[in-house]
Amino acid sequence: MEFFAPEFELPLIERRTGALRAEVRAFLDKERAAGRFEPRCNAWMEGFSADFSRRLGERGWIGYHWPRSYGGRGGSAFDTLAINEELLAAGAPVAAHWVAARQSGPLLMRFGTEAQRQRFLPRIAAGELYFAIGMSEPDVGSDLASVRTRAEQRGAAWILDGRKIWSSGAHHCHYMLVLCRTAPRDAGERHAGLTQLVVDLKARGVSILPIRMLDGSHHFNEVLFEGVEVPPDMVVGAPGDGWRQVTSELAYGRSGPERFLSTFPLVERYLRAVLSAGPGAGDPAAGRMLARLMTLRAMSLGIWAALGAERTPAVEAAMVKDLGTNFERDTIETVREALAADERLAGDAALAQALAAAIPLAPTYTLRGGTNEVLRNVIAKSLQGA
Amino acid sequence: MSDLARPLAEAAERLFARRCGAERVNAAERGEWPQDLWHAVEELGAAKLLVPEPRGGAGGDWQDACALLKKAGEHSVPLPLAETLLAAAALARAGMEIPAGPLSFACAGPQARLERGSRGWRLSAQLAGVPWGAQSTALVLALARGEREPPLLACLPRASFEAVPGRALCGEPRDAVSLSAVEIAQQNAAVLDSVDALAWGALGRAALIAGALRRALALSVEFSRQRVQFGRPIGQFQAVQHHLAVLAEETAAANVACDAAAGACGTPWELACIAAAKTRAGEAAGIGARIAHQIHGAMGITCEHVLHQSTRRLLTWRDEYGAEAYWARRLAECFRSRGDAPLWSLVSAATGREAAA
């Protein structure tokens, strides 16, 4: 392989995608005007609205590129990207269905049985069915291969015991995709013996305990499994294949535009104020933010093109996630400084308020979906040819 | 990549890998003009890459030019490749003759005094840091003439100006050029419509930076594999691995920013994308040079080690044809001029190329 040849080939986007984008934008304008949502940062995690997700589903805007037989509209991957970008840019409340559409659905599409696809995908696309991520555990964060939650076969069914933590929105979700151990640990084969199960969060033996965030809000949960009976048809892929699958799931989870657009509502408000006011000494700060944003967007398109071509751009996604989430953190600092230093923003109470709202949960940006340190390890290993 | 870009980049890689080693670059920095290398580059069609075929050029586009310049940046090629390529393209665009040999390319603002002369124009100016001014066969100068009038492109034969040789941190010639009431014949000046010469220069520098970052990354990976401390290669330390990862990210960002700008050339977003590319590549150059030196330790700041050839260029190129602050301001102005459309609609339009219907 040629040294350092990341795949960021920039794609050409079809015109109909532009038309779809305009349609989504018009819908969002109307929703906002009707007071159905207020733009907010980090809305793909903090903005829960079952009603809004259902309205998106009615329009076909969840899993738009999925085959029609699974509730999609048979569009291109770029159609879905355009829809997602518009939703994120608007700060729309998409948290309810986000994980299901982004990673659980695609995982089932790739590794699930036909019956599983028929059962789950159309309802995910309808915006009615939500999934939680079941990876981290109380003692297992970045080092996923060490999960201790385990399932044993009893008759045909699997009996699940253990606990998952940091499960965003699990208290609203219907199912969790649980990564668990189904064979004893083998020191030589750390990644063997793992399996993914779809677990009904209403099943007997499941308890969901809230974990309050530092600002008192409730997104995280700890989920306990005590002798939970999981029917055999809820195994995803082959038992023991969990590691390979969860790696794919992580790639889906890391590749999207939410990894640099979490603070876009704040960015929009700031840049709009600066640009509308005429030239000023704060322009270079605004321009730098734009330059980084445009570059991230171009990189993100490159990743999406690779995904659409059935490749797994894991290293590229790690690079964009590290750059993108640090960009998100930096946007907060740029706005904070501009509020104090750029006279064009003096007295902009709405901007100050948006800034204040973005700060409490900003530390999550560079932690979720794999900490940036773990991502840097992934990138370095690929550079070193390991 | 276009049909031309890939084979061109491959041919350039073969040529530079064979003929442009560290010794060659050092010799050039001591003042030796690498004539045979220049010939080989001309044979590659590099100098007239952006000149249309009917005018004797290769008819390439900006994606081809960036692919070539990235290779030149990667190998620290000690030639006015970007300058000649841009000067020839500008001359072709303005419908002027293209002189043979290496060309210098610069922009001048209000410090230049331009008057109507007896047979055309008369120009007086003192220009600092003109790349390869003394070595060139001609200096191609884009002269800004205020808000109202489009810039004038002048082609000044070497004999018409004084050049005091100088060198920038990068080790390449950056000369002080003095023009005193130089008469410019009619055929050697033309209005340069719809071309922002400074932006062209900026995109050229961004591509060179993208290439040089790739080199700095390759050297850093290699050094961290070989250098042993505390009983193991330093590349096995996580602190060093994280430096490598960030350097790779910056390298990727500069490369993609360049590709996006090259792809936007000829569209309404050309200027914005070039502004973004120079801003982002300049930022990456600073971060990248710093990390590469940190990884190399004291070894990297010695004359003996080859790293400085890349990092000195990174630090010079980021300042040329407009540094980050300049282009960031221009970028803000580009967006401001679009009115109050939703910002994401502008960002997505600027960075997403639509296929022709």
Instruction: Please tell me if residue B13 touches chain A, with a CB cutoff of 8 Å.
Output: no
What one-letter code names the amino acid at A41? C
* SS3 assignment, position A150: strand
Q: A89 in a domain, yes or no?
A: yes
Other CB atoms within 10 Å distance of the CB of residue A326 = 17
Q: Report the pLDDT value the prediction gives residue B355, as an integer from 0 to 100.
A: 73
What one-letter code names the amino acid at A4? F
Q: A2 in a domain, yes or no?
A: no
Main-chain dihedrals φ then ψ at residue B322, nearest 5 degrees: 95, 120
Q: Which run of H or of E encompasses B144?
A: strand B138-145
Q: What b/e sequence results for B148-167 when a residue is b if at least 16 CB atoms lie within 10 Å of its CB, and e otherwise?
A: eeebbbbbbebebbebeeee
> At which of A129, A147, A167 does a domain end?
A129
Binary contact (A291, B246; C-beta < 8 A): no
> Least CB-CB distance to B280: which of A12, A285, A292?
A292
Query: Which residues contact residue A153 at a Cβ distance below 8 angstroms, ignoring those fewer than 6 apart?
Result: A159, A182
Binary contact (A12, B345; C-beta < 8 A): no
* Alpha-carbon torsion (B5, A301, A321, A352), positive or negative: positive
Q: Are B243 and B334 in contact (CB under 8 A)?
A: no
Structure tokens of A55? Answer: 């309205």
Question: To the nearest whole angstrom, how far is the Cα of A293 from the nearest Cα of chain B?
Answer: 8
Show residues of chain A in contact with B325, CB under 8 Å: 284
Binary contact (A13, B355; C-beta < 8 A): yes
> At which of A68, A99, A129 does a domain end?
A129
**Which CATH number fits the domain that encloses residue A163?**
2.40.110.10
Query: Which residues contact residue B9 at a Cβ distance below 8 angstroms, ignoring those fewer than 6 apart?
Result: B67, B68, B70, B71
> Least CB-CB distance to B331: which of A9, A25, A290?
A290
The DSSP bridge partners found for residue A351 are none
Distance, CA of B265 to CA of B277 (rounded, Å): 12
Q: Are residues A233 and A265 in the same domain?
A: no
Residue ranges of E strands in chain A: 12-13, 131-134, 150-154, 157-165, 175-181, 194-200, 206-212, 218-230, 235-236
Q: Are residues A279 and A179 in the same domain?
A: no
Answer yes or no: A258 catalytic. Answer: yes
Distance, CA of B243 to CA of A97 (rounded, Å): 36
Per residue, the 3-state secondary structure of A289-319, as one string, reads HHHHHHHHHHHHHHHHHHHHCCCCCHHHHHH
Show residues of chain B in contact with A82, CB under 8 Å: 348
Q: Are residues A347 and A273 in the same domain?
A: yes
Q: Are residues A375 and A296 in the same domain?
A: yes
State the burial class of residue A363 (Cβ atoms within 10 Å of its Cβ: 0-12, 13-18, 19+).
Answer: exposed
Q: Report the pLDDT value the prediction gives residue A14, as an integer from 0 to 100.
A: 87
Q: A213 in a domain, yes or no?
A: yes
> Least CB-CB distance to A319: which of B249, B260, B351?
B249
Q: A176 in a domain, yes or no?
A: yes
Instruction: Please tell me if residue B291 touches chain A, with a CB cutoff of 8 Å.
Output: no
Query: Which residues contact residue B187 at a Cβ distance below 8 angstroms, ignoring those fewer than 6 apart?
Result: B96, B97
Question: To the nearest whole angstrom, how far is the Cα of A42 from the nearest Cα of chain B?
Answer: 16
Structure tokens of B143? Answer: 């002269």
Q: Which run of H or of E encompasses B190?
A: strand B189-191
Distance, CA of B145 to CA of B237 (rounded, Å): 56
Q: Residue ranges of chain B with pLDDT lower than 70?
A: 1-2, 356-357
Q: Report the pLDDT value the prediction gives residue A1, as an integer from 0 to 100.
A: 39
What one-letter code names the amino acid at A337? E
Show residues of chain A in contact with B330, CB under 8 Å: 287
Show residues of chain A in contact with B347, CB under 8 Å: 290, 293-294, 297
Instruction: Please tell me if residue B280 touches chain A, with a CB cutoff of 8 Å.
Output: yes
Distance, CA of B334 to CA of A265 (rounded, Å): 21
In a structure prediction context, what are the per-residue pLDDT tens digits for chain A, which is 386 residues long?
Answer: 357 888 888 888 888 999 999 999 999 999 999 999 999 999 999 999 999 999 999 999 999 999 999 999 999 999 999 999 999 999 999 999 999 999 999 999 999 999 999 999 999 999 999 999 999 999 888 888 999 999 999 999 999 999 999 999 999 999 999 999 999 988 889 999 999 999 999 999 999 999 999 999 999 999 999 999 999 999 999 999 999 999 888 888 888 999 999 999 999 999 999 999 999 999 999 999 999 999 999 999 999 898 888 888 889 999 999 999 999 999 999 999 999 999 999 999 999 999 999 999 999 999 998 899 999 999 999 999 96
Strand pairing class (A175-181; A131-134)? parallel
Query: Which residues contact residue A173 at a Cβ distance below 8 angstroms, ignoring those fewer than 6 apart?
Result: A99, A130, A131, A132, A167, A201
Show residues of chain A in contact with B350, CB under 8 Å: 294
Alpha helices in chain B (DSSP H): 5-19, 22-29, 35-43, 62-74, 81-93, 197-226, 238-264, 270-296, 307-317, 324-336, 343-351
Distance, CA of A81 to CA of A85 (rounded, Å): 6
Show residues of chain A in contact with B273, CB under 8 Å: 294
User: Edge-to-edge strand order for the sheet containing B113-116?
Assistant: B113-116, B120-131, B174-185, B162-164
CB proximity under 8 Å: B 254-273 to A: 255-257, 259-260, 263, 272-273
Binary contact (A284, B357; C-beta < 8 A): no
Q: A10 in a domain, yes or no?
A: no
Q: Are residues A61 and A81 in the same domain?
A: yes
Instruction: Please tell me if residue B208 touches chain A, with a CB cutoff of 8 Å.
Output: no
Question: To the nearest whole angstrom, how far is the Cα of B350 from the nearest Cα of chain A?
Answer: 8
Distance, CA of A179 to CA of A141 (rounded, Å): 13
The DSSP bridge partners found for residue A197 are A178, A235
Question: To the nearest whole angstrom, how far is the Cα of A265 from the nearest Cα of chain B?
Answer: 10
Distance, CA of B158 to CA of B160 (rounded, Å): 5
Number of domains in chain A: 3
- Closest residue in B to A3 (Cα–Cα): B218
Q: Are residues A202 and A235 in the same domain?
A: yes
Give the distance from CA B277 to its chain's centroid. Answer: 12
Show residues of chain B in contact with A77, CB under 8 Å: none
Q: Are A40 and A52 in contact (CB under 8 A)?
A: no
Q: Are residues A117 and A169 in the same domain?
A: no
Q: A294 in a domain, yes or no?
A: yes
Q: Are residues A322 and A220 in the same domain?
A: no
Distance, CA of A243 to CA of A196 (rounded, Å): 9
Active-site position among A46, A137, A222, A258: A258
Q: Residue A319 belongs to what domain range?
A: 255-383
**Which CATH number fits the domain that encloses residue A295?**
1.20.140.10
Structure tokens of B71? Answer: 């290779």
Q: Are B271 and B322 in contact (CB under 8 A)?
A: no
Show residues of chain A in contact with B352, CB under 8 Å: 13, 297, 301
Distance, CA of A298 to CA of B259 (rounded, Å): 9
- On the CB side of B206, how many CA atoms lie within 13 Å of its CA? 37
Q: Are residues A113 and A63 in the same domain?
A: yes
Identify the CA nearest to A256 among candidates A135, A94, A383: A94
Binary contact (B263, A10; C-beta < 8 A): yes
Instruction: Please tell me if residue B279 touches chain A, with a CB cutoff of 8 Å.
Output: yes
Q: Report the pLDDT value the prediction gives residue B215, as an integer from 0 to 100.
A: 97
Domains, chain B, with CATH or none: 1-79 (1.10.540.10), 103-194 (2.40.110.10), 197-351 (1.20.140.10)
Q: Are residues A315 and A275 in the same domain?
A: yes
Binary contact (B246, A274; C-beta < 8 A): no
| Complete DSSP assignment for A25-64 | HHHHHHHHHTTS----TTHHHH---HHHHHHHHHTT-SST
Binary contact (B280, A323; C-beta < 8 A): no
Q: A95 in a domain, yes or no?
A: yes
Instruction: Please tell me if residue B10 touches chain A, with a CB cutoff of 8 Å.
Output: no
> Least CB-CB distance to B279: which of A264, A287, A297?
A287
Binary contact (A4, B214; C-beta < 8 A): yes
* SS3 assignment, position A373: helix
Beta carbon pairs, A and B, within 8 Å: 181
Q: Are residues A205 and A260 in the same domain?
A: no
Question: To the nearest whole angstrom, how far is the Cα of B95 from the nearest Cα of chain A?
Answer: 32
Structure tokens of B120? Answer: 């055309």
In this structure, which long-range contacts are made by residues B236-244, counting pairs with CB atoms below 8 Å and at least 24 apart in sequence?
A: B238/A373, B238/A377, B240/B295, B241/A376, B241/A377, B241/A380, B241/A381, B241/A384, B242/A373, B242/A376, B242/A377, B242/A380, B243/B291, B243/B294, B243/B295, B244/A379, B244/A380, B244/A383, B244/A384, B244/B217, B244/B220, B244/B295
**Which CATH number fits the domain that encloses residue A31?**
1.10.540.10
Binary contact (A379, B336; C-beta < 8 A): no
> Least CB-CB distance to B249: which of A276, A283, A323?
A323
* SS3 assignment, position B214: helix
Q: Are residues A167 and A124 in the same domain?
A: no
- Closest residue in B to A319 (Cα–Cα): B249
Instruction: Please tell me if residue B72 touches chain A, with a CB cutoff of 8 Å.
Output: no
Q: Which of A269, A283, A294 to mutate to test the interface with B (most CBs of B within 10 A)?
A: A294
Q: Which of B224, B346, B347, B354 to mutate to test the interface with A (most CBs of A within 10 A)?
A: B347
> At which of A241, A266, A293 does a domain end?
A241
Q: Are A131 and A155 in contact (CB under 8 A)?
A: no
Q: A250 in a domain, yes or no?
A: no
Show residues of chain A in contact with B329, CB under 8 Å: 279, 283-284, 287
> Least CB-CB distance to A10: which of B225, B347, B353?
B353
